[in-house]
Amino acid sequence: MKINGSTRPCLADWPGKDRREPPFSAACYLQQSALAKTIREAIGNALQGKCNLRVLDLGCGKKPYYPYLAPVCQSYIGVDVRHTIVGPDCFAVGENLPFRADSFDVVLCTQVLPYVNQPWRVVDEVGRVLRTQGVLILSAPGVLPYQEDYWRFTHQGLIRILNFYGLQVARVLPNGGVFRCFFSLFAFFIGALSGGQRLVKPLKSVAIVVNNMIGLLLEWLAGGKGEWWCSAGYTLVATKTHPHTPDIAREPVDQL
């Protein structure tokens, strides 16, 4: 199969390896490796024994987690607002998806909510296009530096939005605890220090490696403590338990 005029890569070389297996010397290592682990775990757990699934990757980017889903999917459609090496298959905003109700068995939506204008509308659309008993696997950042985006979330906030739109949360997986989070922020800070000079660049790499080692060690010693207090983000698994109710027909939220 051809993508953008070239041959589709095999799963081992699938784009987005920097997200699935970030190098230890990368500033994003602590955050990204924990995220990849929880997404993989959530997929493996929620879709165990299933096959021939119709999957929607909403805000797909390079579809970095496609290799995790490839064994169980019959079709895999990526939607995004911008072009990448693997697509998307369909240009659309998550707030207004061009699909009929009940079109998908699984929706994957990783690290997209911070970038959309109206995250709650995206969740509403997910509730519409998922079939009843369909599964949403969603990840969103908790404590992360600003990345030209708009929103940050707590696990409780994500649970509230999902529940409000008829998606019952079955699992919440924190992407690491307080030490991973703290040293992840510090790694981003080191990475962002200005200067690409000959000396500064190798020094930054060494500092990030040392930082990442300390972060992992402290996280291990602390046994993942503080994951509900301060985490780089959360991965949630939710099921659509009821037929979708259009947003407009819902009861207004109580005003405080």
Ligand X SMILES: C[S@@+](CC[C@H](N)C(=O)[O-])C[C@H]1O[C@@H](n2cnc3c(N)ncnc32)[C@H](O)[C@@H]1O
Query: Of 30, 36, 93, 129, which one interacts with ligand X (CB under 6 A)?
Result: 93
Write out the binding residues for ligand X, residues 52-91 only, by CB under 6 A: 59-61, 64, 80-82
> Considering the rule CB under 6 A, would residue 119 count as an interface residue with ligand X?
no
Q: Report the residue count for the chain.
A: 256
Distance CA 46, CA 35 (A): 16
Residue 112 interacts with ligand X (CB under 6 A): yes or no = yes
Residue identified by tokens 């290799």 is 67
**Number of residues forming the site for ligand X (CB under 6 A):** 17
Residue 38 sits in the site that holds ligand X (CB under 6 A): no
Q: Decide: residue 82, CB within 10 A, 0-12 exposed, 13-18 middle, 19+ buried.
A: exposed
| Per-residue DSSP letter, 143 | S
Q: Is 55 exposed, middle or buried (0-12, 13-18, 19+ CB in 10 A)?
A: buried
Q: Quote the least distance from Cβ 95 to ligand X, whole Å.
A: 6
CB of 109 to ligand X, least distance (A): 7
Closest CA to 69 of 109, 33, 102: 109
- The CB-of-148 to ligand X minimum distance in angstroms stands at 10
211 binds ligand X (CB under 6 A): no
Name the site residues for ligand X (rule: CB under 6 A).
Answer: 16, 19, 59-61, 64, 80-82, 93-95, 110-112, 115-116
